[in-house]
Structure 1
Amino acid sequence: MSPLPQGTLLLGIIFALIVLWISLKNYEGYFVEKKLFLSLIGGFVVGFLIILLEISTIGAGIFFIILFPAVEQFAKMIVTNLRTFQGKKDTPLYGLVIGLGFGAIYMPLYTIMTGTAIGSEQTMLFIALFFGVGIILFHGATGCIIGYGVASHDGSKIWKMLIITILLSLPITTLEFGLSFLWGKHESSALILSLKGVELLYGVLLYWYVTTKILPSVLPRRRRREVGL
């Protein structure tokens, strides 16, 4: 299999930036640009470190289903729970950005590295990358949920939100665990695409829910009414 173009790694970042631009249209004036930028960079860094950790432990077998979600969400919580974000009303927004940054780096690298390791066809990898945008949306949504917990002054709520995000991760890791037995098998292409389609739909629906039900908590009530949130 010929190597994938290096530019493929930019796909996740470009998509995350587009989603971020669309998502923040109604939030102008309610976030600090410097914190927004640093949150995105923080998400990139954590996403890169976590994928390196997970690739080195890819042989974890069925423990992958529970262990990896816990590691991923805990890593995002560490960044989101920095002092600069604690107890701040706008923290769900920065949590969303951290999550999108995390997913933007994590998803392309995970797809390419695992697919290459098992010898999957290049065409299938590109298709998997396309459907993988659901993973980016998923991480953005769970980052926002964690940020919602950090925004409160209740320490127990942070852990509650963390547990919720881990539970929300289980369908994704269960699907990915199943996919690990299908990659590289030409006769399984249709099933692979179907499962990746389910991942995409799951990520889209969760992101829609979070950005319409949780993220608007950043805004004053009057502003929410003005923008229809």
Structure 2
Amino acid sequence: MGVIPALVILYFTIKGYEDYFKDKKIFLSFVAGLLAGFFSVLFESFVRNAGVVSLIVLIPFFEQIVKTSILNSRLARGTEGAPIYGATLGLGFGSIFIPFSMVIYASRWSGLDIVGLSIVTLGAIGFIFFHGATGIYIGYGVKSDRVW
């Protein structure tokens, strides 16, 4: 459910940049983003009740460190397409949040009304855009091949 909006965004993001990436690496980075997002959601479900500090500091820090670790592997380090691979990784990472957001919404408010689901879906699509943008920023840093 969350993969479709992410793939549409990915299509419009990489259109016109075909010379800068390889299809195999795009697929691998999207799948890596899906897996990393899944494990990130599992981690967040355990840490979520730890307080405000975990919501503001720990969870975002963990998410960005995971994306940075994946992009700093041989996948994109030093290549011109690193921001594109970062966008793909971030979109895959963010696309996992739509199904989990709906499950959390349904379990907390015990119902699936159309207004609530619409709000949750739009918020989760915002997460897709956010993670795609942070993936681009991280990919730009990885492209410069500087140690930070």
Q: TM-score, normalised by structure 1?
A: 0.60
Aligned with 1:54 (options 38, 44, 51):
44
Aligned with 2:93 (options 97, 102, 105):
102
Distance in 2, Cα, partners of 1:24 & 1:68: 28
Aligned with 2:133 (options 131, 141, 145):
141
Aligned with 1:75 (options 66, 69, 90):
66
Q: Which has the larger radius of gyration?
A: 1
For residues 1-229 of structure 1, what are the structure 2 equivalents within 5 Å? Answer: 10=1, 12-63=2-53, 64-109=55-100, 111-119=101-109, 121-123=111-113, 124-156=116-148
Q: Contact 2:97 / 2:124 at 8 angstroms: preserved in 1?
A: no
Q: Contact 2:105 / 2:120 at 8 angstroms: preserved in 1?
A: no
Deviation at 1:120, TM superposition (A): 5.1
Distance in 1, Cα, partners of 2:79 & 2:117: 40
Deviation at 1:128, TM superposition (A): 1.4
Moved more, 62-71 or 95-104: 62-71
Structure 2 unaligned blocks of 5 or more: none
Paired residue secondary structure (2:120): helix
Q: Deviations over 1:106-158 (max 9, x none)?
A: 2431x1233233225412134311332111000000011001111112112xx
Structure 1 unaligned blocks of 5 or more: 1-9, 157-229
Distance in 2, Cα, partners of 1:85 & 1:132: 27
Distance in 2, Cα, partners of 1:28 & 1:144: 16
Structure 1 segments of 4+ aligned residues over 6 angstroms from their partners = none
More RCO (CA 8 Å, sep 6+): 2
Aligned length: 145
Paired residue secondary structure (1:68): helix
Distance in 1, Cα, partners of 2:37 & 2:93: 4
Distance in 2, Cα, partners of 1:36 & 1:75: 17
Match of 1:184 in 2: none
Distance in 1, Cα, partners of 2:103 & 2:27: 27
Give the % identical residues: 40
Q: Contact 2:30 / 2:91 at 8 angstroms: preserved in 1?
A: yes
Q: Contact 2:83 / 2:138 at 8 angstroms: preserved in 1?
A: yes
